[in-house]
Chains A and B, each alone.
Chain A
Amino acid sequence: QQQVKQSPQSLIVQKGGISIINCAYENTAFDYFPWYQQFPGKGPALLIAIRPDVSEKKEGRFTISFNKSAKQFSLHIMDSQPGDSATYFCAASYMGTYKYIFGTGTRLKVLA
């Protein structure tokens, strides 16, 4: 019940295309769902996050879609750029705690 399953493991997209990364969770107690971006040799950095009271959140080219009934959420990167090439992690957390469960990561490569 603690797992967050992330797919795909790796993704190659042409410049200008849409990158889509999916995550699924089991524990309905999770109430905060962030996405992190990590470049080689760096620590992860928060990209965008959503709470289950909304179904979608958009920040620039990055959108989170959230499906509470299916217990799934996804990251969409519109107009993908070579600078977006990085590893992306989804995560889930519980209200009032600092306990986090991360997905296993997706390595994205955007071809120029």
Chain B
Amino acid sequence: EAQVTQNPRYLITVTGKKLTVTCSQNMNHEYMSWYRQDPGLGLRQIYYSMNVEVTDKGDVPEGYKVSRKEKRNFPLILESPSPNQTSLYFCASSSRADTQYFGPGTRLTVL
């Protein structure tokens, strides 16, 4: 089954404790992206990648890191999480820069 998977689905952590949210797709897509969703703000793009080793900033990259070492994986790294990074995070992938397939989301709470 073609899908985008994210792990973990739920995470509660404390300020400053480094964490990684994994994203994997099995559709051989070149493009991958991370978004955060907050009430009243919609979806905001954090980082995106147009191919292996090619990444670029979205609208809200501060406090986040990404890497794209393999085509199928695009992990999101929070080196020192803060409470304002409490949010619902979505990974997405696309074979071209149009139809995006979203993962199920990761709900992160930073205390």
- Compute the total of residue contacts between A and B using a CB distance below 8 Å: 68
Binds B, one of A12-20, A52-60, A92-100: A92-100
Q: Taking the nearest CB of chain B, how far is it from the CB of A107, in angstroms? A: 10
Complexed CA–CA distance, A97 and B35 (Å)? 16
Among B40, B90, B98, the residue within 8 A (CB) of A44 is B90
Q: Indicate whether B85 reaches chain A with its CB closer than 8 angstroms.
A: no
Within 8 A of A (CB), among B13-52: 31, 33, 35, 40-45, 48-50
Complexed CA–CA distance, A103 and B31 (Å)? 21
Complexed CA–CA distance, A89 and B103 (Å)? 16
Q: How large is the interface on B (under 10, 10 to 19, 20 to 34, 35 or more residues)?
A: 20 to 34
Instruction: Using known A-B contacts A43-B105, A44-B90, A93-B97, determine if residue A99 contacts B56 with beta carbons closer than 8 Å.
Output: yes
Among B35, B94, B102, B105, the residue within 8 A (CB) of A45 is B102
Q: Which residues of chain B come closer than 8 Å to A89, judged between CB atoms?
A: 42-43
Among A2, A43, A101, A103, the residue within 8 A (CB) of B103 is A43
Instruction: Using known A-B contacts A43-B104, A43-B105, determine if residue A104 contacts B59 with beta carbons closer than 8 Å.
Output: no
Q: Taking the nearest CB of chain A, how far is it from the CB of B65, in angstroms? A: 18
Q: Indicate whether A42 reaches chain B with its CB closer than 8 angstroms.
A: yes
**Residues of B in contact with A (beta carbons under 8 Å apart):** 4, 31, 33, 35, 40-45, 48-50, 56, 58-59, 90, 92, 94, 97-105
**Residues of A in contact with B (beta carbons under 8 Å apart):** 2, 6, 32, 34, 41-46, 49, 89, 91, 93, 95-105
5 smallest beta-carbon distances between A and B, as pairs: A43-B102, A104-B42, A102-B43, A98-B48, A102-B42
